[in-house]
Structure 1
């Protein structure tokens, strides 16, 4: 028992499967897993750290920006229509209006100088049409200021508000961040360009390939970006950070403003983000490549010798067998234990299949020959004794004319049976044979029955098994014939189009018809014993000769009578 275990263990250790799994598990898998885990964990930690630092810096600066914008909003709300200078503007006295204008101008100058991010300050009186503006050198060109003033004057109702929130407004194809307070008496506006807001990022520490920008909270970019960053996606609603660009090249960190419709965004190139880790990653890849190139020659030779070459031989052998050639034999070259066993089993299997195929074919042919001969013999004997007995009776009566007629038809009947047993006959030959049979029946029973043929002349040359229609006619004579009545037997042969073009042979009579049990047995293909054995043998002959291409049907007609129908696909009995 112990020796058998050792032998099994030795075979297992020599198998190709064991060597491949062992090599992969012991060498490749730990190395690849370790490198994968180290690099990806390092990248994740670095990304998390940089994203956290960037988020803190952005949060701090956006908070400072929001505080300043909120202070400007507070000044707008304090400098409203109830202040002394506003009352002077609205008094209607020119001297009071002049003094108020001077005071307001100086106040605006103080506001402009006090805050870093406000470029323009404007006061507009809708009822009088007067306006006072103050601006800095960063406020844009004269045309932009004129466009803002014109927009406020033309649509003053759009600038009514309480001054709590800074909105983005696009004027003269330029995005501006604007806050306004006003009503139908006075409108106070403060605005700035996004380029002014971006001045605070000039002193921020940036790596090469990184940038800052300002976008709307929906992702619309308000400031200029390098060309390679212009197609980045800033629309994602995601906290923390995410990646965008080709192959997720850039890390995106965002911080939204609490008092305006904007957000500050930092864009960092992943390669610059990883720094030295990027070099380590490339070094790991180089190590894996070198390792792979050292292993490839040995691995290729091993696989070619022990797997690829034997599998190629097996594939060629299988293709040869598929083409019907069972003489193929694959050589057992030097290979692994499993492949040698597989090839030897294949050769043995093909050899056995060839022997079984020949033996099965021979047995099948012999069986079919025996079945057909047996069925043909079953059709014949019951008629012979009746014919001989009839001739004996006529001889006793010395009716030589009937004896001559009987022997002539009987000899033609026997000649047809003996000459056509091993071949097919035409429908015309079969009907001629049935004529001899019916002549014998008339000699035997007289003219107390009627026989009728309705045959498509184009089908007389159609090939069928011998004695097929004769068996059907003989069955009708046996079960439908009535000595005291008028027996009718009719043979119809025509062409019909079903799923395919078919030849339909139908024999009907006016007898009692088939018992329901016999019809059921034929439909369910339950073997018949006793009555109607001739029809059952004919059905079996059809199945052997035309498998899947023929039908043998029994039915009854109204008011009485039996109908026997045979359907054969026309391609199965080509005309001679």
Structure 2
């Protein structure tokens, strides 16, 4: 296990350097950010107070204007005697009625000159169901409204509100066509006298106040819905609801500061929207520059961390990575050459030289072990397993006793070829074809011993028959299968496959249908550890694996696993010895 994985991260040099830098820089950044946020809040409060005062002032002006219009309307109703004939449902003198109607119309038209704010006056007779509409032509310098639409809308509204009295108490808003109007209507007997003021005209004089550029003012109704064309704001999800003497930020990403005041004359309000970027433009230069300082500090921290990583941490990580590889057994690991400080370059060169010396020393030891194993192999070839030899003679005896001479001849031939292969001297490598024939001789001999318990099959690709490999590699694994897999109560099948898996590699698979490797033995083999056994079990397999590693310089691969029995897979490079 890697010891560094168990050590706390806070004890690393990376954590200490980064933490030290942050301890110095973060308080400064926090103070600058706090100072700037506080300054923004103060400026917003100042702008909100100023805008709120301006909105309140103009709302008072609008209310005073509506008061004067209210006074005119009441005075007109009280002083105008011509309204009496208009109230009569049946007139004996229609000409007089028409004259009075014309006189009232002219009087109202004349009054329009003194009240430019009013867009139209009207009188409605509920008895005759007649509407007298007086337009203020001077109120429209551009496009005039559709007076037919105004006439129709007023008639519809009055018809629907004849039995209601709440509209007589206060001003109310009404949409006529595409425009919004503030309406006032008073009942006098059987007549309804009223007037309408376009909301847009009420906002006209606001430019005389110091409201500031880019500030938008508009009227809203009791439901806080705009009484003007505010599509540009509604698309930004702006909430026009407000609280008296308070401001709020609204819109996408809080882009607008909103203040407002309700009218005392009716259920409508005046609100002002101040863009937040306009507010921030009013910050003093030195306060706004704190954002730049805070941003600069953050950039400095990032640059410092990157420089720290490049100058100190990366060289250290390269050395640690190479050391970890060496600890895992990879002596080919080296610290790559890179531009770094003189101290790290010296450390890298020293480390690489040290690993090279260790690698060379290990190679010398491997060569010595290989020579020793070659001597042991030659000695092994000259030795005969007494149990195997005695079992073979015993089989010959019983076959002769039963006079099975053909089987005796077959067994004797297999024994001759088997021992001839074992007694070969001066041969360090054999062809795969010879190794397979030797293994088949061994298996044929064992079938005489276990006639009903052992079967085998070999399937060798023709192109790999001439490939060279160390002797007794396959036979050792097969012998292990015979020793541990065969059960006299059932049939055991051993399969040997060999093929060329790629242009540079040959694969050999030995598989049996026994119980497979025990878990502790399988784990020992997979971890490349020497089996701890007093009886020497599995030592032959481990020796073959180590011999392949030495002969093929680590390019050979031996895998052990269970798949309905024990499986051994050997991957050897296609090389000539």
1:119 match: 119
1:566 match: 567
1:193 is the counterpart of 2:198: yes
**TM-score, with normalisation over the residues of structure 2?**
0.59
Could you say if the C-alpha distance between residues 504 and 333 of structure 1 is closer, same or farther in structure 2, counting changes exceeding 3 Å?
Answer: closer
- Secondary structure of the equivalent of 1:466? helix
Displacement of 1:491: 4.4
Q: Give the Cα–Cα distance (whole angstroms) in 2 for the partners of residues 448 and 437 of structure 1.
A: 11
Selected match of 1:152 from 141, 151, 154 = 154
1:173 is the counterpart of 2:178: yes
Q: Give the Cα–Cα distance (whole angstroms) in 1 for the partners of residues 520 and 230 of structure 2.
A: 92
Displacement of 1:55: 0.8
Q: Give the Cα–Cα distance (whole angstroms) in 2 for the partners of residues 362 and 52 of structure 1.
A: 89
Selected match of 2:561 from 525, 548, 551 = 551
2:269 match: 263
Would the aligned equivalents of 1:473 and 1:489 in 2 still touch at CA under 8 Å? no
Displacement of 1:143: 4.9
Could you say if the C-alpha distance between residues 461 and 233 of structure 1 is closer, same or farther in structure 2, counting changes exceeding 3 Å?
Answer: closer
Q: Give the Cα–Cα distance (whole angstroms) in 1 for the partners of residues 242 and 370 of structure 2.
A: 79
Would the aligned equivalents of 2:118 and 2:196 in 1 still touch at CA under 8 Å? yes
Could you say if the C-alpha distance between residues 102 and 528 of structure 1 is closer, same or farther in structure 2, counting changes exceeding 3 Å?
Answer: same
Give the alignment of 1:215-230 within 5 angstroms: 218=224, 220=226, 222=228
2:5 match: none
Could you say if the C-alpha distance between residues 429 and 347 of structure 1 is closer, same or farther in structure 2, counting changes exceeding 3 Å?
Answer: closer
Would the aligned equivalents of 1:176 and 1:193 in 2 still touch at CA under 8 Å? yes
Give the root-mean-square deviation of aligned CA atoms: 6.6
Could you say if the C-alpha distance between residues 237 and 167 of structure 1 is closer, same or farther in structure 2, counting changes exceeding 3 Å?
Answer: same
Q: Give the Cα–Cα distance (whole angstroms) in 2 for the partners of residues 393 and 232 of structure 1.
A: 99
1:55 match: 52
Displacement of 1:222: 2.3
1:3 match: none
Give the alignment of 1:474-485 within 5 angstroms: 474-475=482-483, 480=488
Displacement of 1:149: 0.9
Give the alignment of 1:424-439 within 5 angstroms: 426=432, 429-435=435-441, 438=444
Would the aligned equivalents of 1:250 and 1:269 in 2 still touch at CA under 8 Å? yes
Q: Give the Cα–Cα distance (whole angstroms) in 1 for the partners of residues 575 and 69 of structure 2.
A: 108
- Secondary structure of the equivalent of 1:551? strand
Displacement of 1:193: 1.0
Q: Give the Cα–Cα distance (whole angstroms) in 1 for the partners of residues 317 and 534 of structure 2.
A: 56
Aligned residues: 503
Could you say if the C-alpha distance between residues 178 and 349 of structure 1 is closer, same or farther in structure 2, counting changes exceeding 3 Å?
Answer: farther
**TM-score, with normalisation over the residues of structure 1?**
0.59
Q: Give the Cα–Cα distance (whole angstroms) in 1 for the partners of residues 105 and 86 of structure 2.
A: 13
Selected match of 2:421 from 400, 416, 440 = 416
Displacement of 1:455: 3.8
Q: Give the Cα–Cα distance (whole angstroms) in 1 for the partners of residues 265 and 416 of structure 2.
A: 121
Q: Give the Cα–Cα distance (whole angstroms) in 2 for the partners of residues 470 and 91 of structure 1.
A: 127
Selected match of 1:471 from 472, 479, 485 = 479
- Secondary structure of the equivalent of 2:441? helix
Q: Give the Cα–Cα distance (whole angstroms) in 1 for the partners of residues 485 and 287 of structure 2.
A: 98
